[in-house]
Amino acid sequence: MAILTASDLSKRYGAEPILRGVTFSVEPEEKVALIGRNGSGKTTLLRLLAGLDEPDAGSVSHARWAKIGYLAQIPTGPGDADVFAHALSGAPTSGPSRHGFATSKRTWLAPRFTTIPTAWPR
């Protein structure tokens, strides 16, 4: 069973399409790397996956046991904490009170894309 599934996600800001038809799933113990140039929609995708923003089309679903969260690019928290410590602390993030990573009770899950979206804006 997939930890996380994105189905045909699309998002635009004004007339500018940011994401079009993004579909992928993340299985337990897979690893993910999200790489792209500035403005390509990386943060938008992560915010959609965390439930902080609504897609214009498509859907996001996750396993009942998974806790999906979002750590902002510029975290608000203790100035002396590193990013990993901040994520582990459960410090509040912007938007709904979701934080942390997809976890089970025993294992930190580091998923990977099973398909690479081909509809990124150019």
Q: Are the beta carbons of 21 and 8 closer than 8 angstroms?
A: yes
Please provide the average confidence, as pLDDT, over all residues in the chain: 75
Domains of the chain, by residue range, sit at 4-67
* pLDDT per residue as tens digits for the range 3-61: 999 999 999 999 999 999 999 999 998 988 899 999 899 999 999 999 999 999 999 99
CA distance 9 to 101: 21
Please give the share of the chain, as a percent, with pLDDT higher than 90.
43
Closest CA to 102 of 42, 49, 23, 44: 49
3-state DSSP assignment of residue 27: coil
Identify the pLDDT of residue 107: 34
d(CA 110, CA 28): 8
